[in-house]
Structure 1
Amino acid sequence: MASTDRPLKILVVASEVEGLVKTGGLADVARALPATLTALGHDVQVVTPAYSRTEPIWSHWPSQSLCVHLNLFDETWMAARTGSHEGLPLVQLEHAESFDRPGIYDDGRWPYPDNARRFGLLSKGALQWCKDNDWRPDIVHANDWQAALCCFYLKEHFKYDTFFDNTRSLLSLHNAAYQGQVPASWLQPLGIHEQFFHPGAFEDFGQINLLKGGIRFADALCAVSPGYADELVTDLGGHGLGALFRDRSDALVGILNGCDYGQWSPETDPMIPATYTTPDEPGKAECKRRLQQEMGFAERDVPLLVSVSRLTDQKGFHLLIPTLWEVLRERDIQIALLGSGDPQLAAHLHRLANHFPDKVAFVEGYDNALSHRMEAGGDAFLMPSIFEPCGLNQIYSLRYGTLPLVRAVGGLKDTVVPLSATQRNTRSATGFMFEEPSEAALRAEIERMVDVYERNPKLWLAMQRNAMKQRFEWESAAREYLKTYRRMLGENL
């Protein structure tokens, strides 16, 4: 068996990387994890599509021709651009027909009908790049449905290719609700033999489910938190794939994402109006005062609750909006919301803000600098998710002393220590938590939180101090991934 301290060759395949393109948390992980693994001395290559919007970054990089066969009859020529961006080693797969589009996954309303082929080319192209450059990966780390075919192609298309004899594949599950379901007519174009079109592999109610196939063929599966791994094997939390996850439970691990504290720290954050090290320093109060000004609120000592989120049912807005209508009628609070997504949810939030102009402000869209100011200026952060694979905003909130109120799911229950009913865990509590996905349960916890703020400022301050001490470092997460990689390779630990 190989030495456990030898550097590994790790191929990371992802459809988005923070700093290039980003639609969600996948991009953050696809940047931070490879960067940390590289810093730890490993040889990492990150393969992503060469989207037209990132052309200024990669257009001057050296290019090589790449011939990709998705099936026996299809020959697609691509260009592989190799370079680095902000210290991250990258291979950009250039194929204008697939990636020179205004959107990443859709046209703004509908998914691109050839997404299966687009990301099939990413998956097969990444492996072909390894062969053409004699770069033998120990691990192929595929991310979500867009790269799930890597695991299948490695096992089947390269089954008799000795080049990949010692290569193993890991599929990361950032959000298994998105599965890449496409018509069965894509079987032949993707090079998936009909023998794999059954409920134990790619078939899903008559369609191809790319994530499902990846789950079946990957050597290991990794959820982005231990709590999410526990949920995936259940019928309720498995997004329709609970039975398959149970069948592959021996291969499933949960590793909590880290946080980039270089970007998210109130001590050094250049995007906030005042920095601070502890919650009782003037900086925290100044951030709140300035946020109240920005949102058009009176500068008063009332709880300022904030939320930065995609507007989707997953995030619990169908619980939050009616609950806020009730709470706002009875409690003296202020609420600042930032988000984009479902236009109907946005309309409901605009209506709420119009009805309570002195108490509610809603900014529709995404504004990174504003999200920093809200994390620093808020007293509490609302995150009542129906499911949450890991979550980052609750981790940011902890660092800024903005107490998170979350539901007991996924990564939220792995990162937030709720104040107990007896309030005896004051030395460890970092936030508030409710379990039942109901308006009544959410309202009761918001009321409880407001009561603590108004009646017990010493307890509130103690919880803020606890929260600001929490650390979820990427180096710790990367070392857990390395343990998983080495187990896959049969190396001594």
Structure 2
Amino acid sequence: MPRTGFPSMKVLFATPELAPWMKSGGLGEISWSLPAALHEAGVDVRILVPAYTPLLAAFPRAKPVAEFAPAGGELPASRLLEAKTDSGVPLLMLDCPAYFRRGGTAYLDASGNDYADNPLRFGLLSKIAALLSSDASPLHWRPDVLHCNDWPCGLAPAYLKFMGGAKAATVMSIHNLAFQGIFPADTLAALGLPPEAYAMEGVEFWGKLSFMKAGLHYAQRITTVSPRYAEEIQTEAFGYGFAGLLHWRRNDLTGILNGIDARTWNPATDPYLPRHYEFAHLKGKEANKAALRQRFGLTAEASSPVLGAVCRITQQKGLDLLLDIGDDIALIPAQLVLLGTGDKGLESALSGMANRHPGQFAVHIGFDDGLAHLVEAGADIFLMPSRFEPCGLNQMYSLRYGTPPLVRETGGLADTVIDCNDATLASGKANGFVFGEATSEALLMAIRRAVAAWHDKALWHKLQRNGMVLDFSWSNAATAYKAIYAGLPTNGAKMKTAARTRSPAASTAEEKLAPEAGAS
């Protein structure tokens, strides 16, 4: 139940993904967990997400609460469905069958190609998010804050900019700046945005239109998913063309570390594990290691730790760094299990490396949630050699599961993993292993350090304890986001007045809404 005793701030949380029904990465999990934590903290939050087929199947009793006529440009008619969730957070699903009732992922078809109409699909999501955050909304409930997540929601602050009347304050959250929603300039008219939006101080980006640029320029506050990443994206190396804009807006930019769902990721209760365990009783972890070896076809070697990785198999994640040092890892000796899918060439190369070391290395191409939990619990060392990592969740899972992570010093990995050395051991802060350069040599040196530490059982026990006692729950992030919301300049007072004076008939399902794009 949410805490009470103070007026509830109203927040519309707009997202293209929602776990477990539609997710391509961490955003889906965040979009479920953060609103739940905000709800617990007393925020009146509602999630806006496309009505994908799996979501419609999961919430068959969702009720229509509004209908929208074509929303300007080439954006089609749609409707809004409302459903109740177990977390207590109301779910608003944008239903447009031609756009969202498809196979594949949120962004890709079954063949792994971008949907050609992605700008229209997510333009519609952004437009409806903006409408619901303005005094043109058909709903009685009206948000004080519109919280937009990643490029698919980036046009919402732009739409609000060109709408008249009272409107919510806006927050734009960057989950991965590498994905920018870049489309041809002539998409502007199809999206129903006015010509003046296409400017350097607007949605224009190197002769094209960028959804991400729109959000970064027009939103009143910008957040990203770790303090280190907030610093990195202001540099040319990590800014992907937006470093200058983000540096210019640095006083409006805040890095807030993501949390994890401590109920789902708990080795003492995890239903996917053959044996539960906790810090005081770590024998269960050995049973999970045995189960992991059996599942991946590894030999039972008492002298070899198991290195594990669960991630998208892409260059970003740094797994290609393993290709030149596979033989060296085998000679340490250490075992290796990889779970993931992604770049076909890299998948093939890593599978080939595993085939050269049968019984010692194994690669599972694909994703299996239960197997992901088993890797976290059964591995001795968790690998995340990412070239960049805005936040990362798996290193926090592995810390909670007593599996010290080995990471590259970047983004949220640098904010959560403290390198093991004499000073950090003495202070009780060491919880993993960190390396700097994104090279195979640097990764190999870190693996050798970690394996040497694993052989020192007293030291290893300290590392496990230091990680397992850390609090990565979402309550910390929820508190930080509440502070961001509270500090926003807003027309909230005007919005609430408008909501009180509107006719109750304005919230009926029959009302159709089609404000002109670019109204001022």
Structure-2-length-normalised TM-score: 0.89
Residues 274-327 of structure 1: per-residue CA shift (max 9 Å, x gap): 111127632111111221222222222211110001111110122133233432
Structure-2 separation of matches of 1:47 and 1:458: 49
1:109-149 Cα shifts (integer Å, max 9, x gaps): 32111111111111111333451013221100000000011
Specify the SS of the correspondent of 1:125: helix
- CA-CA distance at 1:426 after TM superposition: 6.3
Q: Work out whether residues 68 and 124 of structure 1, in 8 Å CA contact, stay in contact via their aligned partners in 2.
A: no
- Partners of 1:426 and 1:332 lie apart in 2 by 30
Which SS does the other structure have where 1:216 is aligned? Answer: helix
Asked if 2 retains the 8 angstrom alpha-carbon contact of 1:80 and 1:129, the reply is no
Cα deviation, residue 5, structure 1: 4.1
Query: Alpha-carbon deviation of 1:352?
Result: 1.1
Q: Which structure 1 segments of 5+ residues have no match? A: none
Q: How does 1:25-424 map to 2 (within 5 A)?
A: 25-68=26-69, 70-71=71-72, 76-87=76-87, 88-103=89-104, 104-107=106-109, 108-129=111-132, 131-156=137-162, 158=163, 160-162=164-166, 164=167, 167-278=168-279, 281-301=282-302, 302-328=304-330, 330-420=331-421, 424=425
Question: Offset at 1:423?
Answer: 6.8
Shift of 1:412: 0.4
Q: Do 1:142 and 1:169's aligned partners in 2 also have CA atoms closer than 8 Å?
A: yes
SS in 1 for 2:186: helix
With over 3 angstroms needed to count, the CA separation of the structure-2 counterparts of 1:172 and 1:448, relative to structure 1, is: same
- SS class of match (1:22): coil
Larger relative contact order, structure 1 or 2 (CA cutoff 8 Å, min sep 6) = 2
Q: Provide the C-alpha distance between the structure 2 equivalents of 1:238 and 1:279, rounded to a whole number of angstroms.
A: 44
Q: Distance in 2 between matches of 1:288 and 1:318?
A: 25
The structural deviation recorded for 1:422 is 6.5
1:419-430 mapped onto 2 (5 Å cutoff): 419-420=420-421, 424-425=425-426, 427-430=428-431
Partner Cα separation in structure 2 for residue 288 and residue 396 of structure 1: 16
Name 1:15's counterpart in structure 2.
16
What CA deviation, in whole Å up to 9, does each residue of 1:246-298 have, x standing for no partner? Answer: 11111100100111110111111111111111276321111112212222222
**Counterpart of 1:486 in structure 2: which amino acid?**
A
In 2: Cα distance, 1:74 partner to 1:450 partner: 58
> Which piece of structure 1 moves more, 237-246 or 293-302?
293-302
Contact 1:70 1:189 in 2 (8 A): no
Q: What is the aligned partner in structure 1 of residue 466 from structure 2? A: 466
CA RMSD after TM alignment: 1.9
CA distance in 2, matches of 1:215, 1:295: 44
Task: Say if 1:74 and 1:189, in contact at 8 Å, map to a contact too.
Answer: yes
Q: Distance in 1 between matches of 2:388 and 2:332?
A: 28
Distance 1:446 1:280, change over 3 A: farther
Asked if the contact 2:15/2:48 (under 8 Å) is kept, the reply is yes
Distance across 1 between alignment mates of 2:126 and 2:58: 22
**1:403/1:424 CA distance change after superposition, 3 Å:** closer
Unaligned runs of 5+ in 2: 492-520
Shift of the 109–490 alpha-carbon distance from structure 1 to 2, 3 Å rule, reads closer
Structure 1 residue 67: Cα displacement = 2.0
Native 8 Å contact 1:123 1:150 kept in 2: yes
In the other structure, the counterpart of 1:452 is: 453
Sort the Cα spacing of 1:68 and 1:437 in 2 relative to 1 into closer, same or farther, 3 A.
farther
What is the deviation of 1:448?
Answer: 1.2
Residues 1:423 and 1:215: Cα distance change in structure 2 (over 3 Å): closer
Are the aligned partners of 1:279 and 1:465 in contact in 2 as well (CA < 8 Å)?
no
* In 2, Cα distance between equivalents of 1:75 and 1:366: 34
How far 1:173 sits from its partner (Å)?
A: 0.6
Question: 1:90 Cα shift?
Answer: 0.5
Could you tell me whether the CA contact under 8 Å between 1:68 and 1:125 is conserved in 2? Answer: no
Separation in 2 of the partners of 1:168 and 1:69?
A: 25
Q: In terms of mean alpha carbon deviation, does 190-199 or 280-289 score higher?
A: 190-199
Q: Relative to structure 1, is the Cα distance of residues 451 and 313 closer, same or farther in structure 2, using a 3 angstrom cutoff?
A: same
2:125 & 2:490 partners in 1: Cα distance? Answer: 28
Mark the CA change 1:33 to 1:239 in structure 2 (over 3 Å): closer, same or farther.
same
Determine the C-alpha separation between the residues in 2 that align with 1:230 and 1:267.
36
Alignment check: 8 A CA contact 1:67 1:75 kept: no
SS at match of 2:325: helix
Q: Is the 8 A contact 1:375 1:402 kept in 2?
A: yes
Which 10-residue stretch deviates more, 253-262 or 464-473?
A: 464-473
**Number of residue pairs aligned between Structure 1 and Structure 2:** 480
- Paired AA for residue 434 in structure 1: F
Distance 2:468 2:368 in 1: 24
